[in-house]
Structure 1
């Protein structure tokens, strides 16, 4: 608790804050004199850098280089420095000031800027220094930004883009199915080495050539890759024809099983998805590696949908160890063993799966009557590390941003502030953020440490009284509202999604207006949806309407995320176990969403004192589609 007392110390007086706002206003209306006068009095104010940044970026094209670079030097490792540096680099590149570009550039995650930096080295006579980036930049399956083109031209002139490097990138590009890039790269090969990309392009356009008697693969070591691509393309036209092609060319395909695998997997998937268990035999060619977990998961989902429990048990057993295997697939291995009559093996599998704090871990515990893994262990944050954080100037800046409601800037500052921290410092930072009420940052920061047992920090009860009150009035379980809110916004009230959903429960404006009308409320603006009280009322009401429409927690949760019209299309033809239905949701985003919300419901029920809630209580069988056959349309909530 000593750390908490530090957090509330050192409050900033109101006058500097008001002067800061007045200075911003003066700059916006062009009153440079007033801005300069106020700025001069605010040099010790934590947000003074924001005034300098605003002044420089008001007309960056006219800002003196010395002023820009002074700012970069004065405020290193801040989000403002990063933003200004990127804008300044763009200005330097546009002006062709390559020596300055190379000096100002810092490594980051932008390939376009990396290529501009490497070009800057070339333009200033430092070509040899770029060679270390050659394979990383060139050896890529997709297209690179246009900023890389001068770089490639220079490397080609230097003789570094050898035929072997071109072949390597062609193989990557072919595996990715990037037809346009294959065509471009093939023209870079010597004429004598172009037969295999020509055949690849021929089959890409007309895969039925594989079945013509006069067609044979080029004998240049790439034949299996070409065949596999052709079969994958043919499978999109006709799975039956693709199977015939596999039989015709099986001898050739079996000479290189690794490259042939894509053909077998494509045919296997197509057969399985139309309900033919023969597809699983083809799909068995997929080799389980840590890098293809998505492919393994897709195969297992198809096997579960087909009720092919023998294949489920076999494939889960062959999976490499991973968090996904522990969180999800150990449960399904036990389910498979149970269906196969291997009772003791199933019970042991359920016991192992029940250690996980996930929907599948909870369902495993329900199968054997075990307790849930809900033990809370506070974050072991060290007081001295907490003290260092709260005494930092960055922390003072964060507090001021919070007091001014500048949540976007706060999130940016926090991201830069915690970048590169070691786990012990991240734990201290998460503790600080939680005490300050910056719950989204606390949760994300703690997640980076891999410490998952602080349930109070990870599942806060912010807005508790309001949620309990609204839940009671609307008639919906408060743990469900908390779970949706935790999943949608992580308690960040001003967050907006790329598709336009806003606020704590991530409501689309159109949906919010429809719900408001049903409650006889005024139509809210986007800004209104930032208000926690209104967002919770509208979001909870919409969730209740999905519950009333579908009558099933899993379906209603899926509808909140993907829209009721999609859930109507996903209804089963026959009554289906709810766990099977959830696993079969076609959208990966919605599938994960439903899993997490149901997990969070159990945790929040315990946090709210309703510890008797079991995951299986929320998941009765999903009735067949005839129950909803006469229902159509529906409103759509967040599709994040």
Structure 2
């Protein structure tokens, strides 16, 4: 049920929120009262401030800036001369002058003086770094490398793929070794969704300079084609000799597999290899057992480095699904090193492949690399090493350390932006304030967020600690008085329910998705009506989904229903809650033999659902430790998924 989150419209009482409160935070209420109640230690720090007409004008300015509407932003900003967020007013006025209505960088100099003045006035702030990011895209398009390099050196976040590509283009233009730059580009050119104009210029430039081979460029273009970016693919690598095979594999991988068995000899060894890699990827996404055979044929031919990131990752998954540990090991050996190191999944499965080969000492070394990570694969690695998955010892912070957080400018600004329903900007301010904090400071900030009921910030902030931890903050349990009796009545595991809510909404009560799911448990309207009828909730209407107790009741009952419908498997039920029971059953139907839950989870075809299931079950294990001091083997929790013919479910 979890989709991209956005915040719902205000309830009337939200319009009197205070500077220290966030719109998206949950609240407790005094009995028979509709007034928000602050924790006592923070009551005196909040003075009610109504959302004014000027605030609404500021919100309109932000929307006009999002659309790069120069005229409207100039008009609105002129009426906000004395607004407290003067930097945002200036930013929203300047940014549309840098980009056209389609989001492309403008190739002119008209806003340069304004940008320089802004960066000087607001240097060191989150928004200055954001504007510098914007300007770097303009400077890169302009090929103004002297100014680009000077500004890039000051870009703190450095998290924009296009900017990275422009940086490599700048170095290339100044005569740096093209072969080295091509090697550096492998860490950048991973996801075609973020390439934009800059990366589409970089690849052919590296080919022309002799740093990248035409085959390597075609491989990058093929990765774009696999994702549906056909025009981009041609710009990156030119015509692809197996372009028709890519299209055929996307449309019907089973047919493409059969056809290529007959025609593969017409192609060069290199093109045969990459074609089998593409066919293997799309077969694997269909959970077709022929994926293992396609990838074996590719492995015999070689050219692993010319496979896309998607094909490299699905090669591992195809091997896992087939229990082909030789293919799993070879696939991970042939991965882009950046991709391999980025996801602990590949370190864990490499250890498992070594263990299957009887190389126990090397397998142990692999597991040790991720055993201190508090995630799904970190937990599984710890179990392989015979270690417990108890939550780590709690580090406590003092009241003085917590109180110091209330004066942090980024938090004060973030809270006010949340109060205006500007969550994106609020998160930017909050997260910028967290930079360079010690673990103790992060825990103090998380506790401060808890006291002002910003539970998503509690989780986000506590999640960042490296050595000192407080898992009661990383895995908080708000609404326990409401959720516990509901779970107890239907015998629903409370730790699992909390693990799911943490993943669904981060405890933002009024969160809603692009498809209409809402509340703590992100319940869909049609699902809510179905469950309400089944449990005898009379007079139910969908506007009641915003009520905490109603949302928890319907979400918990639905979770229990899918668990029963799917034979008590937490893996299948978690997948069903996210993607629907029919899909979960169809994925199980594709199994050819009993499969361990971790392999089933890793080979779920939908990226969102695959990530969701692993996070929910990892969360559940830690919630069990935090709430009860008990731990269960994650492997046992995942269980074994047995093949079963798909049946039509009446559940939505």
TM-score range, shorter chain: 0.5 to 0.7
Q: How many Å apart are 1:510 and its aligned residue?
A: 1.4
Is 1:596 aligned to residue 624 of structure 2?
no
What do the CA deviations read for 1:194-215 (whole angstroms, capped 9, x no partner)? xx95xx3xxxxxxxxxxxxxxx
Q: For the residues of structure 1 that align with 2:406 and 2:489, how far apart are their CA atoms? A: 41
Query: Is the 1:267–1:282 Cα contact (8 Å) retained in structure 2?
Result: no
Q: For the residues of structure 2 that align with 1:145 and 1:310, how far apart are their CA atoms? A: 34
Matches within 5 A, 1:501-580: 501-522=517-538, 527-551=543-567, 552-571=569-588, 572-580=591-599
**Aligned twin of 1:266:** 278
Q: For the residues of structure 2 that align with 1:563 and 1:277, how far apart are their CA atoms? A: 27
**Cα 1:110–1:365 shift into 2, 3 Å:** same
Q: 1:416 aligns with which of 422, 426, 429?
A: 429
More helix by share: 1
**Aligned twin of 1:206:** none
**Cα 1:558–1:461 shift into 2, 3 Å:** same
Query: Is the 2:410–2:433 Cα contact (8 Å) retained in structure 1?
Result: no
Q: For the residues of structure 1 that align with 2:461 and 2:86, how far apart are their CA atoms? A: 21
Q: How many Å apart are 1:469 and its aligned residue?
A: 1.4
**Aligned twin of 1:209:** none
**Aligned twin of 2:81:** 70
**Aligned twin of 2:166:** 136
**Aligned twin of 1:41:** none
In structure 1, the gaps of 5 or more residues are 28-48, 156-160, 187-195, 201-225, 254-258
Is 1:250 aligned to residue 268 of structure 2?
yes
**Cα 1:81–1:546 shift into 2, 3 Å:** farther
Query: Is the 2:98–2:135 Cα contact (8 Å) retained in structure 1?
Result: no
Q: Secondary structure at the match of 1:496?
A: strand
Q: 2:388 aligns with which of 371, 391, 399?
A: 371
**Aligned twin of 2:173:** none
Q: For the residues of structure 2 that align with 1:354 and 1:163, how far apart are their CA atoms? A: 41
Q: How many Å apart are 1:484 and its aligned residue?
A: 0.6
**Aligned twin of 2:294:** 279
Q: For the residues of structure 2 that align with 1:342 and 1:120, how far apart are their CA atoms? A: 52
**Cα 1:550–1:119 shift into 2, 3 Å:** closer
Query: Is the 1:564–1:633 Cα contact (8 Å) retained in structure 2?
Result: yes
**Cα 1:446–1:578 shift into 2, 3 Å:** closer
**Aligned twin of 1:35:** none
Q: How many Å apart are 1:599 and its aligned residue?
A: 0.8
Query: Is the 1:543–1:556 Cα contact (8 Å) retained in structure 2?
Result: yes
Q: For the residues of structure 2 that align with 1:382 and 1:312, how far apart are their CA atoms? A: 51
Q: Secondary structure at the match of 1:591?
A: helix
Query: Is the 1:232–1:263 Cα contact (8 Å) retained in structure 2?
Result: yes
Q: For the residues of structure 2 that align with 1:390 and 1:232, how far apart are their CA atoms? A: 55
Larger Rg: 1
Q: Secondary structure at the match of 2:511?
A: coil
Q: How many Å apart are 1:250 and its aligned residue?
A: 2.9
Q: 2:601 aligns with which of 555, 573, 582?
A: 582
The count of residues paired between Structure 1 and Structure 2 equals 538
Q: How many Å apart are 1:443 and its aligned residue?
A: 2.2
Q: Secondary structure at the match of 1:238?
A: helix
Query: Is the 1:359–1:595 Cα contact (8 Å) retained in structure 2?
Result: yes
What do the CA deviations read for 1:550-602 (whole angstroms, capped 9, x no partner)? 12111111100100011121113433332332222111211111111111111
**Cα 1:512–1:229 shift into 2, 3 Å:** same
**Cα 1:424–1:56 shift into 2, 3 Å:** closer
**Cα 1:561–1:56 shift into 2, 3 Å:** closer
**Cα 1:164–1:503 shift into 2, 3 Å:** same
Q: For the residues of structure 2 that align with 1:603 and 1:239, how far apart are their CA atoms? A: 43
**Aligned twin of 1:309:** 325
Is 1:227 aligned to residue 238 of structure 2?
no
Q: Secondary structure at the match of 1:635?
A: coil
Query: Is the 2:354–2:362 Cα contact (8 Å) retained in structure 1?
Result: yes
**Aligned twin of 2:353:** 336
Query: Is the 1:362–1:615 Cα contact (8 Å) retained in structure 2?
Result: yes
Q: How many Å apart are 1:431 and its aligned residue?
A: 4.1
Of 434-443 and 391-400, deviating more is 391-400
Matches within 5 A, 1:150-165: none
What do the CA deviations read for 1:105-160 (whole angstroms, capped 9, x no partner)? 578879997699679999xxx999899999739989989999x99xx9xx9xxxxx
**Aligned twin of 1:204:** none
Q: 1:614 aligns with which of 633, 640, 648?
A: 633
Q: Secondary structure at the match of 2:507?
A: coil
What do the CA deviations read for 1:152-187 (whole angstroms, capped 9, x no partner)? 9xx9xxxxx99959x99996656633444678x79x
Query: Is the 2:57–2:76 Cα contact (8 Å) retained in structure 1?
Result: no
**Aligned twin of 2:494:** 478
What do the CA deviations read for 1:246-287 (whole angstroms, capped 9, x no partner)? 534436x4xxxxx88633422554677443654333333354
Identify which of structures 1 and 2 has the higher relative contact order when contacts are C-alpha pairs closer than 8 Å and 6+ apart: 2
Q: How many Å apart are 1:301 and its aligned residue?
A: 0.9
Q: How many Å apart are 1:509 and its aligned residue?
A: 1.4
Matches within 5 A, 1:81-92: 82-83=91-92
Q: For the residues of structure 2 that align with 1:175 and 1:502, how far apart are their CA atoms? A: 35
Q: Secondary structure at the match of 1:617?
A: helix
Is 1:239 aligned to residue 257 of structure 2?
yes
Matches within 5 A, 1:96-245: 101-104=111-114, 136=166, 173=221, 176-177=224-225, 178-180=229-231, 200=239, 226-229=240-243, 232-233=246-247, 238-243=256-261
**Aligned twin of 2:515:** 499
Query: Is the 1:313–1:336 Cα contact (8 Å) retained in structure 2?
Result: yes
**Aligned twin of 1:221:** none
What do the CA deviations read for 1:19-76 (whole angstroms, capped 9, x no partner)? x36xx4xx5xxxxxxxxxxxxxxxxxxxxx737737989998597688347357x634
Q: 1:11 aligns with which of 26, 45, 48?
A: 45
Of 515-524 and 592-601, deviating more is 515-524
What do the CA deviations read for 1:266-324 (whole angstroms, capped 9, x no partner)? 255467744365433333335469x9654433111101111212222344456548786
Q: How many Å apart are 1:407 and its aligned residue?
A: 7.1
Q: For the residues of structure 2 that align with 1:431 and 1:442, how far apart are their CA atoms? A: 7
Query: Is the 2:510–2:520 Cα contact (8 Å) retained in structure 1?
Result: yes
Q: For the residues of structure 2 that align with 1:130 and 1:76, how far apart are their CA atoms? A: 26
Is 1:296 aligned to residue 330 of structure 2?
no
Q: Secondary structure at the match of 1:529?
A: helix
**Cα 1:530–1:342 shift into 2, 3 Å:** same
